Each structure stands twice: as structure tokens, then as C-alpha cells.
């Protein structure tokens, strides 16, 4: 049984994040057994939701609190990072002199987890943060731990070419080269690493699909039982939606955040009016995040859209909490989806449900995975300058061509799912090779 550490927060109430956790477990399953430990900023929630699946460690006071929802001013974020870096620096010094006994001197369970880990997988989703993951990479290199950036997206923090950007790029390049392996989920991230000088001459860099593709869904019968309890009708077209509050903030760059949200909401309301009117379909809002903070609750956005809609009686909002497997099963029961949540879209396309993904121009995940890898670029809508006419036009085109799109998705999906397991194959080989060569892991 390999002791595997994920030194990050997988908030279980964000079902996209949870799907990455379950996809990670599934990706490792064919290649060996792993005892998984992960960090949490809300352990009272995650210990319940991940019971029996992983050991959840309370990382408050070490992991920067703003990482979860991005909220906080510059002073707060700076203090959080300085606190994080200082504690890791101190632990690194102690580990250099006293080895694993450092975890007795600094008694937080985080340090014990670092000491006991045999394999470390980090930087899931778009999590790669230079001051967070970069600091960890240096510490894990010092400790001799095999460490993998796993199924990740890595991108430049700011597109502006300035001194700050060049410094951060150099730091990302230096710290990335301290790792053992990098697996990515789209080619755009690999292009960024190549641009800053990280290539396969430094370490293996592989690109495979997103982990959510291999999360096993509940059966369609079970999914329909759940939908009936939510009063979702079976006899008319169902179009699923999942709209996050934070994605609205990417609309109309340069404007104040409240103005962005209000202006972005209006075209979404008109889209629901088109769906419930012209298409005579029912809109089912399926929240892919319900917390743990209000800004992360998709049901709030759904309520705002429904309140402004002309046909609120044709709009249903799923309010109960469901697992990632249940939500993926629900997505299979839909006729089409529209949303800003990447993993809501992945849930749908896994069952060949035609999907329109709303994102922003700089989101490498959506453009790289849904656009390039799945060949669905025609149905990715950039929210930067969202307007009702163009959004409705794209949705109408997808609806008209839904049989063709569904057939295309069916044709590519088996290969996508098969390739996703290669993340686990590559990572577990690191440990298995060490054991076969008779080397003891730190």
C-alpha cells in the first residue's frame, strides 16, 4: 500500500474538484493500492464527504486561506504566503539536520504527512500557484520525495510582459525542474512550460485528458430516481445549466466587478427565455458547487437568473447536495447543456450529451480540453464580451446539430477515457521502479 499525499485542498462541496479527486483515485486503481491523504481548509465538511476515501488533514494555519475562493485583499494574501513560506523554510532547515524528527518538533499533522509520504501528487486543476507549489517543490526535493504535478493546467498568472511576469516565469521554471514528473491535461500548458524553458530534457512531461472523464457515474435509472425527487419532468427536452458567480467576473474586463456581473447576467437570462420559449424546453440548473462560501454557491446565480426570467415555471433548480457520481449520472439524462463549469461539461460529454461551454479567453483548461482535445471549439463561448444574440445563436446551432455532435462525442470518448488512465500509469511507475530497484523511499 503506497502512502500517497495530495498537499492541497479538494473542497468536497465543489463537485468539479471532488470529481478530480475521484478521477485521481480511479486513475491509480489499475496500477496499485494507495492510502491517500489530502489537505483541507474545511475539514469538518471534507471529512464527512470523503469518509472512507481519504485521510483528511486540517491544513488551516499553513495552507493560505484565500487559495480556496480567491477572496482577500493584497495585504491578507501577502501575509498568508509569507506565513506559508516561512514555516516551510523552517521545516526544511530542521529536516536537513534531524530528518523525520522535524515532524516531532513541528507537530502540525501537515509536517507528519510530508514526512510519511512515499509519493506526492500536486497541482490538480488550475491549482499551480508559484509561491505555494513552488515552495513545496523545493521542500520535497530536499526531502527526496518523488513528486508529480498531476493532471494539471499550468499557465502564466498575468499575460502582461513586465518584470514581475518574467520573475515569476523564471521561478516556475526553476521549481518545476525540481520535480520528478509532470502530467498535464492539455497541450497549451505544455507550450507554456516550453516557452519558459521547461522541456523533456529536464524531466518527463506528458499530456493526457482530464481526470473527470473516468469518474464512474451512477446508473441512468438511479439518476432518474434522483431527478424525479427534484420534480424534473421526463416528457420534454431538458437543457441543463451550471453558472458560477466567479466566471461572471471575467466578463467586460476593465469594469467594476458588480457591473460585470449585472451585464453578464442579462444575456444569460435571455438565453433561458429562448430555451424555455422558442425551444419549449425545461431548464434544469445543476449546481456543481454549493460552497463552502457564498461566492462558490452556483444556486445563488441560478436564483438570480430565474427571478429575471419570463418563464420561471420552466426553470428548475437542484438544491440538494449530490455526489460527483450522482451529478454525472444526472448529466447523462439531459438533451443538452450550457454552463461555465468545465466539469459539468465533462460530465455531459462523457455520455455524448451536446454541450456549450462558456468561459474566458485565457482559460487554458476549457479551450485545451473541450476545444482542442475533444474537437468542440465551435461550442466554446468567450464571456469576455458576452451578448445575447451571439450566445443564443451558438446555443441554437448546437441544438440544431445535436445529433451530429452527439455522434462525434461517442466516436472519441473511448479513446479519451483510455488515455486518462495514463496519468496513473506514469505516476505509479515512479514508486514501483524504486521498489523493484531495491531503493527505500524517504
The pLDDT assigned to 105 comes to: 97
The pLDDT assigned to 71 comes to: 63
Contact of 427 with 376, CB cutoff 8 Å: no
pLDDT tier at 124 (50, 70, 90 boundaries)? confident
Does residue 70 or residue 81 have the better pLDDT?
A: 81
Among 384, 338, 333, smallest CA distance to 361 is for: 384
* Mean pLDDT for the stretch of residues 70-99: 91
Return the CATH superfamily for domain 2-213+419-436: Glycogen Phosphorylase B; (3.40.50.2000)
Left (φ > 0), alpha (ψ -120 to 50) or beta: where does 50 sit?
alpha
Q: Which residues contact 54 (CB under 8 A, 6 or more apart)?
A: 6, 21, 36, 37, 38
* Mean pLDDT for the stretch of residues 338-367: 96
Q: What is the pLDDT of residues 194-221, one digit of tens each?
A: 999 999 999 999 999 999 999 999 999 9
Which residue's C-alpha cell is 475539514? 43
Which residue's C-alpha cell is 451512477? 218
The pLDDT assigned to 158 comes to: 74
Question: Mean pLDDT in the chain?
Answer: 94
The pLDDT assigned to 437 comes to: 60
The pLDDT assigned to 434 comes to: 63
Q: In what order do the strands lie in the sheet with 205-207?
A: 55-58, 34-40, 2-9, 119-122, 147-152, 181-184, 205-207
* Mean pLDDT for the stretch of residues 382-410: 97
CA 188, 191, 197, 198 torsion-angle sign: positive
What CA–CA distance (Å, rounded) separates 274 from 258?
25
Q: What is the pLDDT of residues 243-263, one digit of tens each?
A: 999 899 999 988 887 888 889
Is the per-residue pLDDT at 69 higher than 60?
Answer: no
What's the angle, vertex CA 435, arms to CA 432 and CA 438, rounded to 5?
A: 150
The pLDDT assigned to 52 comes to: 96
* Mean pLDDT for the stretch of residues 117-135: 88
Q: What is the pLDDT of residues 1-41, one digit of tens each?
A: 899 999 999 999 999 999 999 999 999 999 989 999 999 99
The pLDDT assigned to 395 comes to: 98
In this structure, of 227-231, 257-261, 274-278, 326-330, the range with the lowest mean pLDDT score is 257-261
Which residue's C-alpha cell is 500536486? 122
Q: Within 13 A of 362's CA, how many CA atoms are on the CB side? A: 14
C-alpha cell at 275: 430555451
C-alpha cell at 396: 441554437
What's the distance, CA 229 to chain centroid?
Answer: 28
The segment(s) of the chain belonging to CATH 3.40.50.2000 are 2-213+419-436, 218-349+355-400
Which residue's C-alpha cell is 491523504? 37
Does residue 256 or residue 239 have the better pLDDT?
A: 239
Q: What is the pLDDT of residues 275-318, one digit of tens each?
A: 999 999 999 999 999 988 898 999 999 999 999 999 999 999 99
Is the per-residue pLDDT at 191 higher than 60?
Answer: yes
The pLDDT assigned to 73 comes to: 79
The pLDDT assigned to 68 comes to: 62
The 3-state secondary structure of the chain reads: CEEEEEEEECCCCEHHHHHHHHHHHHHHHHHCCEEEEEEECCHHHHHHHCCCCCEEEECECCECHHHCCCCCCHHHHHHHHHHHHHHHHHHHHHHHHHHHHHHHHCCCHHHHHHHHCCEEEECCECCCCHHHHHHHHHHHHHHCCCEEEEEECCCCCCCCCCHHHHHHHHHHHHHHCCCCEEEECCHHHHHHHHHCCCCCCCCCEEECCCHHHHCCCCCHHHHHHHHHHCCCCCCCCEEEEECCHHHHCCCCCCCCHHHHHHHHHHHHHHHHHHHHHCCCCEEEECCCEECCCHHHEHHHHHHHHHHHCCCHHHEEECCCCCCHHHHHHHHCCCCEEEECCHHHHHHHHCCCCCEEEEECCCCHHHHHHHHHHCCCHHHEEEHHHCCHHHHHHHHHHHHHCHHHHHHHHHHHHHHHHHHHCHHHHHHHHHHHHHHHCCCCCC
- Buried b / exposed e across 59-84, counting CB within 10 Å, b at 16+? beebbbbbbbbeeeeeeebeebbeeb
The pLDDT assigned to 102 comes to: 97
Give percent of the chain with pLDDT exceeding 90.
84
What CA–CA distance (Å, rounded) separates 425 from 325?
23
The pLDDT assigned to 400 comes to: 98
Does residue 67 or residue 11 have the better pLDDT?
A: 11
pLDDT tier at 127 (50, 70, 90 boundaries)? low
- Considering the four listed CATH numbers 2.40.30.170, 3.10.20.740, 1.20.810.10, 3.40.50.2000, the one that applies to the domain covering 218-349+355-400 is 3.40.50.2000
Is the per-residue pLDDT at 441 higher than 60?
Answer: no
Q: What is the pLDDT of residues 154-188, one digit of tens each?
A: 998 777 778 989 999 999 999 999 999 999 999 99
Amino acid at each position: 500500500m503506497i502512502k500517497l499525499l495530495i498537499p492541497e485542498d479538494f473542497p468536497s462541496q465543489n463537485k468539479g474538484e471532488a470529481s478530480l479527486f475521484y478521477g485521481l483515485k480511479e486513475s491509480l486503481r489499475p496500477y496499485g493500492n494507495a492510502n491517500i491523504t489530502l489537505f483541507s481548509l474545511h475539514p469538518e465538511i471534507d471529512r464527512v464527504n470523503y469518509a472512507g476515501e481519504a485521510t483528511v488533514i486540517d491544513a488551516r494555519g499553513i495552507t493560505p486561506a484565500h487559495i480556496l475562493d480567491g477572496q482577500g485583499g493584497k495585504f491578507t494574501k501577502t501575509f498568508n504566503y509569507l506565513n506559508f513560506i516561512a514555516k516551510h523554510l523552517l521545516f526544511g532547515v530542521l529536516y536537513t539536520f534531524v530528518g523525520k524528527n522535524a515532524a516531532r518538533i513541528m507537530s502540525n499533522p501537515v509536517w507528519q504527512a510530508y514526512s510519511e509520504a512515499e509519493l506526492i501528487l500536486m497541482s490538480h486543476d488550475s491549482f499551480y500557484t508559484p509561491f505555494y507549489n513552488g515552495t513545496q517543490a523545493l521542500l520535497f526535493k530536499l526531502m527526496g520525495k518523488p513528486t508529480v504535478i498531476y493532471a494539471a493546467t499550468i499557465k502564466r498568472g498575468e499575460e502582461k510582459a513586465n518584470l514581475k511576469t518574467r520573475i515569476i516565469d523564471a521561478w516556475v521554471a526553476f521549481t518545476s525542474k525540481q520535480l520528478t514528473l509532470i502530467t498535464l491535461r492539455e497541450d497549451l500548458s505544455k507550450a507554456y512550460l516550453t516557452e519558459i524553458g521547461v522541456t523533456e530534457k529536464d524531466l518527463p512531461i506528458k499530456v493526457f485528458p482530464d481526470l473527470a472523464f473516468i469518474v464512474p457515474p451512477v446508473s441512468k435509472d438511479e439518476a432518474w430516481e434522483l431527478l424525479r425527487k427534484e420534480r424534473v419532468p421526463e416528457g420534454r427536452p431538458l437543457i441543463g445549466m451550471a453558472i458560477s458567480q466567479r466566471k461572471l467576473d471575467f466578463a467586460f474586463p476593465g469594469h467594476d466587478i458588480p457591473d460585470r456581473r449585472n451585464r453578464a447576467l442579462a444575456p444569460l437570462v435571455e438565453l433561458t427565455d429562448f430555451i424555455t420559449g422558442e425551444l419549449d424546453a425545461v431548464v434544469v440548473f445543476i449546481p456543481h458547487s454549493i460552497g463552502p462560501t457564498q461566492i462558490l454557491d452556483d444556486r445563488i446565480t441560478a436564483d438570480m437568473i430565474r427571478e429575471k426570467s419570463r418563464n420561471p415555471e420552466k426553470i428548475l433548480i437542484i438544491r440538494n447536495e449530490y455526489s460527483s457520481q450522482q451529478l454525472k449520472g444526472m448529466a447523462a439524462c439531459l438533451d443538452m447543456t450550457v454552463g461555465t463549469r468545465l466539469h459539468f461539461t465533462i460530465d455531459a460529454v462523457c455520455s455524448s450529451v451536446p454541450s456549450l461551454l462558456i468561459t474566458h479567453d485565457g482559460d487554458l483548461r476549457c479551450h485545451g480540453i473541450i476545444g482542442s482535445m475533444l474537437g468542440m471549439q465551435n461550442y466554446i463561448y468567450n464571456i469576455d464580451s458576452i451578448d445575447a444574440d451571439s450566445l443564443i445563436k451558438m446555443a441554437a446551432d448546437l441544438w440544431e446539430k445535436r445529433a451530429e455532435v452527439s455522434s462525434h462525442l461517442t466516436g472519441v470518448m473511448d479513446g479519451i477515457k483510455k488515455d486518462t488512465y495514463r496519468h496513473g500509469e506514469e505516476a505509479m511507475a515512479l514508486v514501483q521502479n524504486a521498489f523493484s530497484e531495491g531503493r527505500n523511499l524517504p
